[in-house]
Amino acid sequence: MTIRCGWVNEDPLYIDYHDHEWGVPVHDDRHLFEMLNLEGAQAGLSWYTILKKREGYREAFDGFDPLLIVNYDDKKLNELLENSGIVRNRLKIASVVQNAKAFLKVQEEFSTFDSYIWGFVGGKPINNNWTDMSQVPATTEISDAMSKDLKKRGFKFVGSTICYAYMQAVGMVNDHNQTCFRYK
C-alpha cells in the first residue's frame, strides 16, 4: 500500500497532483505564474476546488500567458465573470491581470521570474522533516518576506499563507510527511 500525505483524498486527480506535482521544484516561468494565480484563487476555498477547475482556468486565461493577459479589457473581464469553469470572483479575476503586469516587470528586472522567486530560498528547496501534518506551518519568515515583496511589486492575493502554499506547490519547500512515499 502506498502511503501519502494525510491531506490527499481518494480522487485520482488529487492523488496525481500529490504524486507528481506537489513539492516538485518548478523553474518554468509560465508555470510559476499559473501556480501563483491558482494559489491566489484558492483564498477562502480548498485547493481541491481549484484543482478541479484548473483546466478551466488554463482555457479562460489563455494558458496563463502574461503577455496576453495584460491586454485584457473590461469586455474580457466581464466574459470571465460569466465563466463557470473558474471561480467567478471579480477581485480574483482582476488580480490575474494585475499580477501579469507585475510579473512582466519582475521578468524585466531579474530576467526571469524563476530567478526572482527562487531567490527567497537561496535557489534550492528547503527540505523539512515533518512526522505529522499538524507540524506543517501555515506561514514562515520566508513566506512573510515573499508576501511583503510581492505586494510591494504590485501583486494581489499574495498573503503569507498563500505564499507558503505556493512554495509547497512549486517545490520551494518539501513538506511531504516523512512516511509519505514522495518524501525523499
Q: Is 141 a residue of the active site?
A: no
Helix, strand, coil fractions of the chain, as percent rounded to 5: 60, 0, 40
C-alpha cell of 120?
527567497
Q: What is the number of other CB atoms lying within 10 angstroms of the CB of residue 41?
A: 24
Helices and strands (DSSP H and E) totals, the chain: 9, 2
Q: Is 47 a residue of the active site?
A: yes
Catalytic residue among 14, 22, 34, 47: 47
- Calpha distance 32→176 (Å, rounded): 20
C-alpha cell of 69?
493577459
Q: What is the number of other CB atoms lying within 10 angstroms of the CB of residue 88?
A: 12
Catalytic residue among 14, 22, 34, 39: 39
- Calpha distance 156→171 (Å, rounded): 21
Q: Is 183 a residue of the active site?
A: no
Q: Which residues carry out catalysis?
A: 17, 39, 47
